[in-house]
Amino acid sequence: MASHASAEKRNRQRVVRTARNRRVRSSVRTVLKKARDALAKGDAKAAKQPVADAAKALARAASKGVVPPNTASRVSSRISAQLAKLAK
Kindly give the residue spans of alpha helices, DSSP state H, lying in the chain: 5-41, 44-63, 69-87
Confidence tier at 74 by pLDDT (50, 70, 90):
very high
3-state class (DSSP) for residue 3? coil
CA neighbours closer than 13 Å in the CB half-sphere of residue 88: 5
For domain 5-87, is the CATH number 3.90.420.10? no
Q: pTM for the complete prediction?
A: 0.88
| Contact by Cβ (8 Å): 34, 76 | no
pLDDT tens sequence across 10-66: 999 999 999 999 999 999 999 999 999 999 999 999 999 999 999 999 999 999 999
What is the rounded CA–CA span in Å between residue 27 and residue 14? Answer: 20
What is the rounded CA–CA span in Å between residue 45 and residue 51? Answer: 11
